């Protein structure tokens, strides 16, 4: 245990050459409790957003008992950590061997699909098991989300009837699922999608036991401040209650970003300045994949003992590799006098940051520390203490 300090104190004490990850258990625990206590149904954590074992077990400790797994590797990971967790294999296209192992070795009973061919694969791999929950993924719009997930998966309205009827015959419990896209900025994304669910149920005439509204629940970033999560929950609940399903039907969701975005931030060092371009020691092949490849803006803060008296100006970042694509356009607003040797904290990297890291060009992650101050921003209004007050523990 070190003396109480914050990101600034850590940068001052360590002068780290490699990027340093800061994890905030308090933030992830608060997010988990929000979903457990306020979402009107069952919450499945989407492991792909951040597969850190410490985070997965932390969510379990705070009431998340169901996990959305998208590969056999994620199945093995979560089952090894949490023998009692309920695992749901929600990738619509899976290897038959993966289905077989998930069912017979890891107790997975929930599988998603969007074609008759995938349904037949599941039936073969599970030897026509009679205890399956099969969730048919339908295609919905991503127009209200910052990242589209509307083209790769999902049965079309014209095809949904046949797939739903076939899945009903092969399942113990039938579900309908969808994904509105990542970072949905309005609750209407879900209400519009649930109208698609209504149409699919009416057209097929099947009895539906599960309605899974998927992921897409947002976090807060520069230029992206969504409504409170409670407004999403209320809109989903109203739309679900009006669906033609039985009173015993379950409502599920699969948050990833909303549960873990606030969990981590990153301390990086400026290695060079060239005008309004900063060369830093992490980038597109590290924790800043989204900043490079989809233009995501993250909150940033200059870490100095004395606050800069210069105005903020927009900067772009270059990462440490020798690849031109290792570029984060931003803009990232920092004091105009930032220079080589300065340290910067980049916030809200708990979602997809560590998950997308590679060792390309010999650059990789540095040390990780656990802190208990507040994240750089929050969508959860009951933050218990000011930012930059807390302890830090090296992991």
Taking only the tens place, the pLDDT of each residue in 29-58 is 999 999 999 999 999 999 999 999 999 999
Among 4-13, 65-74, 278-287, 347-356, name the one with the lowest average pLDDT. Answer: 4-13
Taking only the tens place, the pLDDT of each residue in 3-13 is 435 788 888 88
Taking only the tens place, the pLDDT of each residue in 213-236 is 999 999 999 999 999 999 999 999
pLDDT score at 98: 98
β-strand 42-46 against 66-69: which pairing, if any?
parallel
Question: Three-state SS across 66-128?
Answer: EEEECCHHHHHHHHHHCCCCEEEECCCCCCHHHHHHHHHHHCCCEEEECCHHHHHHHHHHCCC
C-alpha closest to that of 27 among 379, 322, 327: 379
Q: What percent of the chain has pLDDT over 90?
A: 81
Q: What percent of the chain has pLDDT over 70?
A: 95
C-alpha closest to that of 267 among 197, 367, 149, 187: 367
Handedness of CA 77, 80, 86, 88 (dihedral sign): positive
CA–CA dist 211, 352 (Å, integer)? 26
pLDDT score at 389: 44
CA–CA dist 368, 328 (Å, integer)? 23
H helices present in the chain, as ranges: 7-14, 25-38, 53-61, 72-81, 96-106, 116-125, 157-170, 188-204, 229-241, 257-260, 289-293
pTM of the predicted model, to two decimals?
0.93
CA–CA dist 10, 303 (Å, integer)? 10
Domains annotated for the chain, with CATH where assigned, are 7-23+261-394 (2.40.37.10), 25-259 (3.20.20.10)
Taking only the tens place, the pLDDT of each residue in 238-249 is 999 999 998 899
Among 93-97, 142-146, 190-194, name the one with the lowest average pLDDT. Answer: 142-146
55 to 47, 87, 325, 340, 364: CA distances (angstroms): 10, 16, 30, 33, 20
Q: Tokens for 242, please give them.
A: 């009006």
pLDDT score at 358: 85
pLDDT score at 237: 98
Taking only the tens place, the pLDDT of each residue in 283-295 is 999 999 999 998 9
CB-based contact 107:128 (threshold 8 Å): no
Query: pLDDT band at residue 385, thresholds of 50, 70 and 90?
Result: very low
Among 80-89, 147-156, 181-190, name the one with the lowest average pLDDT. Answer: 147-156
Q: Does the pLDDT at position 390 exceed 70?
A: no
């Amino acid at each position: 245990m070190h003396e109480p300090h914050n990101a600034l104190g850590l940068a001052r004490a360590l002068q780290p050459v490699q990027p340093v990850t800061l994890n905030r258990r308090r933030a992830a625990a608060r997010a988990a409790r929000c979903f457990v206590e306020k979402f009107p149904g069952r919450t499945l954590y989407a492991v792909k957003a951040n597969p850190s074992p410490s985070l997965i077990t932390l969510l379990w400790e705070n009431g998340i008992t169901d996990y959305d797994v998208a590969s056999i590797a994620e199945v093995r990971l979560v089952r090894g950590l949490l023998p009692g967790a309920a695992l749901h294999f929600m990738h619509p296209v899976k290897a038959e061997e993966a289905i077989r192992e998930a069912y017979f070795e890891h107790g997975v009973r929930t599988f998603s699909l969007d074609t008759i061919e995938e349904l037949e694969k599941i039936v073969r791999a599970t030897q026509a098991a009679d205890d399956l929950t099969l969730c048919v993924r339908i295609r919905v719009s991503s127009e209200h989300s910052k990242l589209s997930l509307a083209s790769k998966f999902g049965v079309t309205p014209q095809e949904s009837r046949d797939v739903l009827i076939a899945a009903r015959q092969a399942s113990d419990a039938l579900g309908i699922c969808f994904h509105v896209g990542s970072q949905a900025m309005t609750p209407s994304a879900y209400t519009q999608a649930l109208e698609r669910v209504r149409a699919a149920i009416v057209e097929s005439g099947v009895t539906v036991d599960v309605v899974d509204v998927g992921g897409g629940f947002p976090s807060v970033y520069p230029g992206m401040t969504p409504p409170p999560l409670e407004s999403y929950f209320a809109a989903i609940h109203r739309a679900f209650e009006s669906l033609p399903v039985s009173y015993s039907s379950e409502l599920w969701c699969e948050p990833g970003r909303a549960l873990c975005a606030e969990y981590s931030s990153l301390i990086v060092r400026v290695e060079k300045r060239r005008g309004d371009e900063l060369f830093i020691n992490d980038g597109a092949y590290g924790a800043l994949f989204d900043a490079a490849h989809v233009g995501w803006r993250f909150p940033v803060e200059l870490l100095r003992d004395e606050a800069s008296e210069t105005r903020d100006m927009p900067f772009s970042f270059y990462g440490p590799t020798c690849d031109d694509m290792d570029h984060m356009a931003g803009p990232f607003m920092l004091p105009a006098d930032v220079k080589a040797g300065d340290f910067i904290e980049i916030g809200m990297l708990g979602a997809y940051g560590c998950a997308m890291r590679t060792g390309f060009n010999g650059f990789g992650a540095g040390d990780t520390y656990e802190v208990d101050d507040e994240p750089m921003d929050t969508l959860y209004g009951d933050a218990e203490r000011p930012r930059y007050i807390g302890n830090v523990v090296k992991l």
